[in-house]
Amino acid sequence: MRPTPHVLLALLALGSPGCGGEGADALVVVGLTTDMAIGFEIDAIESTTKVDGVITRAERLSYGSSGLSLPAEIEIAPAQDGAKVELSVAAFRDGEAAPVVKRTVATRAAGGRRLLLPVSLDAACSGVACAAGATCAAGMCVDPFVDPSGLDDHDPTWIASASDACKTRSSGDPEIVMGQGESAFAPLEEGEVLPIEAGLQGGHHVWLALRVAGLRQMGLRLTVGGHFPELAFELVPFTALVALRRAGEGRCEIYGIRFRVDRGLPVESVRGQALDVEITLEDPNGDIATAAQRIVIAP
- For domain 175-297, the CATH class is mainly beta
Alpha-carbon span 226 to 246, nearest angstrom: 27
Q: Are 208 and 257 in contact (CB under 8 A)?
A: yes
Residue 11 CA to residue 202 CA, distance in Å, equals 42
For residue 4, give the 3-state DSSP assignment. Answer: coil
Tell me if 60 sits within 8 A of 190, measured CB to CB.
Answer: no
Report pLDDT digits (tens) over 46-76.
999 999 999 999 999 999 888 899 999 999 8
pLDDT at 9: 34
Please determine, for residue 2, whether its predicted confidence score (pLDDT) is greater than 50.
no
Terminal C-alpha separation, the chain? 27
Q: Per-residue pLDDT tens for 227-256?
A: 999 999 999 999 999 999 998 776 899 999
Name the CA dihedral angle for 103, 109, 112, 115, rounded to a multiple of 10 degrees: -10
On the question of pLDDT at 17 being above 50, the answer is no
pLDDT at residue 64, as a whole number: 86
pLDDT attached to residue 66:
82
CATH 2.60.40: which residues of the chain?
10-161
| Phi, psi of 80, rounded to the nearest 5 degrees | -75, 155
Which residues of the chain form CATH 2.70.50? 175-297
Structure confidence by residue, pLDDT tens digits, 125-146: 999 999 999 999 999 999 999 9
Q: Is the pLDDT of residue 23 over 70?
A: no
Q: Is the pLDDT of residue 4 over 50?
A: no
Q: Which amino acid is at 207?
A: W
Lowest-pLDDT range of 15-24, 189-198, 235-244: 15-24
Average pLDDT over every residue of 280-298? 97
Q: What is the CATH number of domain 10-161?
A: 2.60.40
Asked if 226 and 277 count as a contact pair (C-beta separation under 8 A), the reply is yes
Say whether pLDDT at 8 is over 70: no
